[in-house]
Amino acid sequence: MRIYLDHNATSTARPEAIAAMTHALELGGNPSSVHAAGRAARGLVEQARSAVADLIAAPTSTVILTSGGTEANAIAIESAVAAGTKRLIISALEHDSVQETARATGAAVETLPVDRQGAADLAWLRERLACWDAAEGRAFVALMLANNETGVIQPVQEASEIVRAADGWLHVDAIQAAGKVVIDSRGIGADTLSVSAHKIGGPQGAGALTFGPRATLSRRQHGGGQERGRRAGTENVPGIAGFGAAAKAANPRELQPQAAWRDAAAARLKAHGCVIMGEGAPRLPQTLCFGTPGFSSELQVMALDLAGVMVSAGSACSSGKVKASPVLTAMGQGDLAGCAIRVSGGWNTSEDDWNAFLEAWLEAHARHAARRKEVA
Amino acid sequence: MRIYLDHNATSTARPEAIAAMTHALELGGNPSSVHAAGRAARGLVEQARSAVADLIAAPTSTVILTSGGTEANAIAIESAVAAGTKRLIISALEHDSVQETARATGAAVETLPVDRQGAADLAWLRERLACWDAAEGRAFVALMLANNETGVIQPVQEASEIVRAADGWLHVDAIQAAGKVVIDSRGIGADTLSVSAHKIGGPQGAGALTFGPRATLSRRQHGGGQERGRRAGTENVPGIAGFGAAAKAANPRELQPQAAWRDAAAARLKAHGCVIMGEGAPRLPQTLCFGTPGFSSELQVMALDLAGVMVSAGSACSSGKVKASPVLTAMGQGDLAGCAIRVSGGWNTSEDDWNAFLEAWLEAHARHAARRKEVA
């Protein structure tokens, strides 16, 4: 048995994406070449750019293709600092690629707190921006659209109104939300917004950033002048083509049924003392994060893996390191943060997969409880 | 007819690379995940890293996988500046990704000149480093292994002795040389050396940097801690797998026969007044760069494209812009720099391809000469 329920780490590549990549590889050509092969490769890149733009309702000309979500986030943050911002407000929910990049800029970093349900505290943000010191440049606020661990959807539209009133710059990491909820990057008022291919069934190694009229982007990679000079380097044509195909295929509706399957599993888990993270907040339909007192994240992930069910503890990027999730800790979950796992479905996940997870977990939990009883 | 002779811009993807990518895409998984799928993805990445290390005779643990050659070059240059270098010596032959990145660091940039045959002037380098001001930090010298436009192989080993005697840092852009000549990154004394997948039959979007014990690398991308913290972001597993497969398949011997096919074409071209760039220097076996007085690069590329033969004027990255090649200009080629084209074969290029190019060029040249006669 092999049940993959770690789509928030990396989703399964869609057949459409694999086909588009193979086609691009067979076609060949460098998009900067003026000959027929070059023009064909350029066509693939621009077609994909347009599909990605559609996914997030952004004007195609504002979409910069990157090597992934991390780079897209980096361009946004580094651009704000280059444009004069001396202090960054980063929500406690943000991914390491935002947290670490912000700290590496040398600018001061302040944390936008989060409530117990895993939603950003906008009252704090309003108060903080009301007394913003203009000497620190434009306020920059990073608030993701949906959290990768809990799936909690953030009040981004409301945040953007607050940020805009203070003439600030709102960066929205939509990497985990893309393809799972409908995204209108302009409508929600994001000044910059990032997405990644491999979270929506495209390949790893491709991402994008869209920027609005109030954001001034600086160059991150220098050289051949690709991406209007903002991100030099020969375009990853196969990766971009796969991204475009995945963006076209991704449809939030296809994931809707999973909310019920997830909630059914959650009800059973709660009967065993589990705490569902962000249960009271709007969440992505296919993400379930829960803590089990006394049953460490690591043991749960390992036991499930042995049973052929793949889930994660926290985000994949930090799951190599055994430490409690900073996001859950920020949510005030205390010790539970070290006993939480994330189960996340994708475009090819069935109700049977959710059931298989539940059965495997119940068995692992029973064995764990029996062992603890023995020891006690 | 479709004759692709622009492999120095981007080579045709090898079947092995396409198969490895498809396999990786079907396998799925995030290399940072601890479960079975994650471990399998990690295995693919490390297998590829080892194949890339073999290609350049570098210890596997010193190979950092990047989003491409541009990023690999950027890590080297930015690391040197972060380590205290205040002045960069960049050869006139370097690719835009080196030239532009160097200029963007804010450090002073000096140009290492080049002779008429397209080889770096090492006497200049020796003299320059003899009077290096220690207050400018360690000397950093960028000299590519083989030039992308002319194919001229640079005296890198000798340069490294000069740089080492001055306790400097030699960066070798081996992007165009990899797979075309045997590379011993440690033997030639490179402190950092960059390669790219799509020049050797792998996909675009993957590259690597190897670093020796005298180079201290800084972080370029921050986040999940991938690539030992130097290049965060989920690994481009399919791209990396394709890179590894291409690195394994690439074999300089397979290109050797092209030197004779190229030289046969060159002999015919010279009979029509063409000047072969770097003819007197050691060159990559499959690269031919030549100038034709009075026949602009652009017209030649377009005429050949119409005939189904794809070549380039200068490097692909700058060929969108119509300007004379800075490399050929630095070689003292004057007006000829605006009348030069590059023909470059690859792993799947046959003698027939070279002949087809020659026939198409002769026809285009004859038509061009006739038009000029009419006008005169």
Report B:85-104 residues touching A (Cβ under 8 A): 95-101, 103-104
CB atoms under 10 Å from CB of A376, counted, come to 5
| 3-state secondary structure at position B129 | helix
Question: Can you give the pLDDT at residue B345?
Answer: 98
What's the rounded mean pLDDT across residues A277-304?
96
Radius of gyration over every alpha carbon of chain A, rounded to an integer in angstroms: 21
What's the rounded mean pLDDT across residues B17-37?
96
Tokens (6 digits) for A124: 């704090």
Distance in angstroms (rounded) separating the CA atoms of residues A326 and A340: 12
Angle at A320 between CA A314 and CA A325, to 5 degrees: 30
Is the CB of residue A10 less than 8 Å away from at least one CB of chain B?
A: yes
Residue A368 has pLDDT above 70, yes or no: yes
CB atoms under 10 Å from CB of A26, counted, come to 12
From A205, A302, A318, residue closest to B236, measured CB to CB: A205
Mutate to test the interface with A, among B5, B25, B96 (most CBs of A within 10 A): B25
| 3-state secondary structure at position A91 | strand
Distance in angstroms (rounded) separating the CA atoms of residues B252 and B185: 15
| 3-state secondary structure at position B178 | strand
The residue with tokens 């000047």 is B275
Render pLDDT for A94-126 as a digit per residue (tens, 0 to 9). Answer: 999 999 999 999 999 999 999 999 999 999 999
Q: Determine, for residues B233 and A68 on separate chains, whether the beta-carbon distance falls below 8 Å.
A: yes
Distance in angstroms (rounded) separating the CA atoms of residues A87 and A169: 12
Domains and their CATH numbers in chain B: 3-11+253-375 (3.90.1150.10), 15-249 (3.40.640.10)
Catalytic choice (A131, A289, A317, A339): A317
Q: What is the mean pLDDT of chain A?
A: 95
Distance in angstroms (rounded) separating the CA atoms of residues B198 and B14: 10
Neighbour-count burial of A245, counting CB atoms closer than 10 A to its CB (0-12 exposed, 13-18 middle, 19+ buried): buried
Is the CB of residue B216 less than 8 Å away from at least one CB of chain A?
A: no
Q: Are A276 and A288 in contact (CB under 8 A)?
A: yes
% of residues, chain B, pLDDT over 70: 98
Give residue B62's identity as a one-letter amino acid code.
T
Question: Can you give the pLDDT at residue B324?
Answer: 79
What's the rounded mean pLDDT across residues B172-196?
97
Q: Determine, for residues B319 and A34 on separate chains, whether the beta-carbon distance falls below 8 Å.
A: yes
Question: Can you give the pLDDT at residue B329?
Answer: 93
Angle at B84 between CA A71 and CA A234, to 5 degrees: 30
Tokens (6 digits) for B231: 């290049």
Residue B228 has pLDDT above 90, yes or no: no
**Secondary structure of chain A: what % helix, strand, coil (to 5)?**
45, 15, 40
Region of B227 on the Ramachandran plot (φ > 0 left; ψ -120 to 50 alpha; else beta): left
Name every residue whose Cβ is closer than 8 Å to that of residue A303 and which is 6 or more positions away in sequence: A360, A364, A367, A368
Least confident range of A47-56, A169-178, A317-326, B245-254? A317-326
Name the closest residue on chain B to residue A241, using Cα atoms: B204
The residue with tokens 């070689």 is B331
Give residue A58's identity as a one-letter amino acid code.
A
Q: Are A242 and A203 in contact (CB under 8 A)?
A: yes
Question: Can you give the pLDDT at residue A321?
Answer: 52
Render pLDDT for B35-50 as a digit per residue (tens, 0 to 9). Answer: 999 999 999 999 999 9
Strand partners, A64: A209
What's the rounded mean pLDDT across residues A23-45?
96
The residue with tokens 């605006």 is B338
Upper half-sphere CA count for residue A353 (Cβ side, 13 Å):
21
Q: Between A221 and B174, whose confidence is greater?
A: B174
Render pLDDT for B246-301 as a digit per residue (tens, 0 to 9). Answer: 999 999 999 999 999 999 999 999 999 999 999 999 999 999 999 999 999 999 99
Render pLDDT for A177-234 as a digit per residue (tens, 0 to 9). Answer: 999 999 999 999 999 999 999 999 999 999 999 999 999 999 888 888 888 888 989 9
Distance in angstroms (rounded) separating the CA atoms of residues B358 and B283: 20
Chain A residues inside the 8 Å CB shell of B28 = 4, 10, 12-13
Question: Can you give the pLDDT at residue B279?
Answer: 97
Question: Can you give the pLDDT at residue A316?
Answer: 53
Chain B residues inside the 8 Å CB shell of A222 = 70, 74, 96-97, 100-101, 103-104
Its sign, for the CA torsion B222, B223, B226, B229, is positive
The residue with tokens 């690999």 is B72
Residue B131 has pLDDT above 80, yes or no: yes
What's the rounded mean pLDDT across residues A14-35?
97
Question: Can you give the pLDDT at residue A223?
Answer: 86
- Residue A198 is classified by DSSP as G
From A13, A35, A96, residue closest to B25, measured CB to CB: A13
Question: Can you give the pLDDT at residue B224?
Answer: 83
What's the rounded mean pLDDT across residues A275-298?
96
- Our separate counts of H helices and E strands in chain A read 13, 12
Sheet with strand B140-142: strands edge to edge: B63-66, B207-211, B192-196, B169-173, B140-142, B87-91, B108-112
CB pairs under 8 A between A and B: 292
Q: Between B314 and B33, whose confidence is greater?
A: B33
Q: What is the mean pLDDT of chain B?
A: 95
Render pLDDT for A134-152 as a digit per residue (tens, 0 to 9). Answer: 999 999 999 999 999 999 9
Question: Can you give the pLDDT at residue B277?
Answer: 97
